[in-house]
Amino acid sequence: MGITQWIADNAVIFIAATSYPGLFLLMVLESMVFPVPSEAVMPFAGFLIVTNQFTFNGVIIASTLGSIVGSLISYAIGLYGGKPFIRRFGKYLLLDVHDLEMTERFFGKRGEITIFISRFIPIVRHLISIPAGLGKMNIWKFIIYTILGAGMWNAFLTFVGIKLKENWKEVMTYSHTIDIVVVAILGLAFLYYVYKIYVNLTKKPAGN
């Protein structure tokens, strides 16, 4: 069994075992500052739609509710904690003030519509709710933009998962090449996280 097949099998087993509550929780984490990419969650939920263990509507509702809850928690962090929270706890989540400042600039240039746009942008999507809280963005606009952006992104990734599962035998004919790409991506991600951990744990607080 190749690594791609192994990852797919275990991801599907985990999501199936935890059902909609597990999917909800994963997307809560994905919408906060935890390194849980939706690209590693939603396609496998799509697999389970093909096998009739999930329904499309159930997947979109559970995942989008998770996105809303996670985003609201991050909004509250921005509203009540902001940069001091990131300075104190960011190193444990592979984030730092630079990441937040980058996202703040992105939010400042494009305004409230950024909440919608950011759902399609890696890294930014994990942090964008904090500047929204810092800026005291209207909570109802925040929720609406989150529902629209997260709902569309979750639906797209779920659709990709459905198509992958329906054509899985054909996809696996290229399993050797895919495995090499997956191993390379995992290796780069591991090196990146090790680097972030090292930088965050060794960085001196501002003013020292």
- pLDDT tens figures, 113-138: 888 888 887 777 777 888 888 878 88
Q: Does some domain include residue 208?
A: no
pLDDT digits 0-9 by tens, 142-182? 999 999 999 999 999 999 999 988 887 776 676 667 667 76
Looking at the domain assignment, is residue 57 inside a domain?
A: yes
Q: Interhelix angle for 42-50 vs 3-30, to 10°? A: 110
Positive or negative, the Cα torsion across 138, 69, 77, 148?
negative
In a domain, 207, yes or no: no
Specify the residue for token string 């929204």: 132
Domain count, the chain: 1
pTM of this structure: 0.77
User: Which among 71, 45, 79 is positioned nearest to 155, based on CA atoms?
Assistant: 45
Question: Is 146 among the domain residues?
Answer: yes
Residue with the two structure tokens 């991801």:
11
- Tell me which residue range forms the domain holding 26: 3-202
